[in-house]
Structure 1
Amino acid sequence: MQYVKPLNLFQNLLKAKAPEPGRLLGLDVGDKYVGLAVSDLDNKIASPLSVLVRKKSNIDLMATDFQSLISELSLVGFIVGYPFDRQRLAPDATQVKLFIDDMSKTGKLDGVKYTFWDECFTSKNVELLLKPLSLHPTLAKTIVDKFAAVQILQAYLDYANKKEKLEKAR
């Protein structure tokens, strides 16, 4: 996997001379689950996709799942939620980096571009929205992870599209 600066990932996507535009995959990496969201073909809207179970023993299987998604959905990059905290190194940040390292070590995602995007309070926001529904804890957790991934990806898409629009206006 190859890290790319956030705006560079989007600009490369726009410059690509592919017959069909590529999509982006948003990831909310947790200790037990990885929530997934996918962009539309215009890279304007994020939609929930699924949740993958995350265990140390299934990293290779997860990488294979990502390979399938890349092929099926014409994915060109991953937007990975990252808990930026300027004051200290958050334990969740270490967990996200370890996940990316583990994915990279499989060798199955060589050449896949990714960037980090601030996931500040995404899960907490979704939890607050779901609380009145009194869902079963397992169901609530998977919904939280999926929609946290949607928030991460949508925030990235909004920012990148706004920047692109401003660049064209100049």
Structure 2
Amino acid sequence: MRIMGLDVGSKTVGVAVSDPFGWTAQGLEIVRINEDAGEFGYERVATLADEYQVELFVVGLPKNMNNTIGPRAEASMAYGNSLQERTGIHVIYQDERLTTVQAEKMLINEANVSRAKRKKVIDKLAAVVILQNYLDSHQQQL
């Protein structure tokens, strides 16, 4: 069963997919979107889901540090709900607090990636972290 992880922002959606066994997450791409213009990249995400035979979406839920739902989390849930309606693929939400920070530390400390290059891949790596956290916490159930 393949699972797709999404890191939804206001300008990009980072996309990752699991291996067929649900053990590891790999980054696929960054889909450009524009919330203000109503461009959400649903078609591209749906195409990738079809190509990889995805059976579940895991959308990062950027809760506030006090565990409340703010505007960004609401936007992520709206994105997930619309994606589920369009594709028929079930969506679940994974707490993603600090995943972008974690991804940035990985790029700085482990890969020594420059600031300019980090900006180009951070959302995709955040999607990998979101999905891998989900896979690790649900390993027995898959």
TM-score by length of 2: 0.83
- Residue 46 of structure 2 is aligned to residue 64 of structure 1: no
Does the 8 Å contact 2:81/2:91 carry over to 1? no
Runs of 4+ in 1 over 4 A off after TM superposition: none
Distance in 2 (CA, whole Å) between partners of 1:161 and 1:76 is 16
Kept in 2: contact 1:35–1:50 (CA 8 A): yes
Output one character per residue of 1:37-71: Cα deviation in whole Å (capped at 9) or x when no partner.
10000011101111001113423xx2221221122
**Alignment partner of 2:92 out of 110, 115, 118:** 115
The 1-side partners of 2:75 and 2:131 are apart by: 19
Q: Which moved more, 1:83-92 or 1:147-156?
A: 83-92
RMSD: 2.2
Q: Give unpaired runs (5+ residues) of structure 1.
A: 1-21, 166-170
CA contact (8 A) 2:3 2:54 kept: yes
Shift of 1:29: 0.8
Instruction: Indicate if the aligned counterparts of 1:126 and 1:144 stay in contact, CA closer than 8 A.
Output: yes
Letter of the 1:145 partner, please give it: D
Task: State the identity as a percent.
Answer: 30
Within a 5 Å distance, the mapping from 1:1-170 to structure 2 comes to: 22-56=1-35, 57=37, 58-59=39-40, 62-85=41-64, 86-103=66-83, 108-109=86-87, 111-131=88-108, 133=112, 135-137=114-116, 139-162=117-140, 164=141
Deviation at 1:140, TM superposition (A): 1.6
Number of matched pairs: 137
Q: Quick check: which one's helix share is greater?
A: 1
- Structure 2: which 5+ residue stretches go unaligned? none
CA offset digits 1:54-101 (Å, max 9, x no partner): 113423xx2221221122111111000002344533332122123234
SS of equivalent to 2:119: helix
**Superimposed CA distance per residue, residues 113-169 of structure 1 (whole angstroms, 9 cap, x where no aligned partner):** 1100011101011222334635253x322311111111110111111114x38xxxx
Alpha-carbon contact 1:35-1:142 (below 8 Å) kept: no
**Please, what TM-score do these two structures have when normalized by structure 1?**
0.71
CA distance in 1, matches of 2:106, 2:136: 21
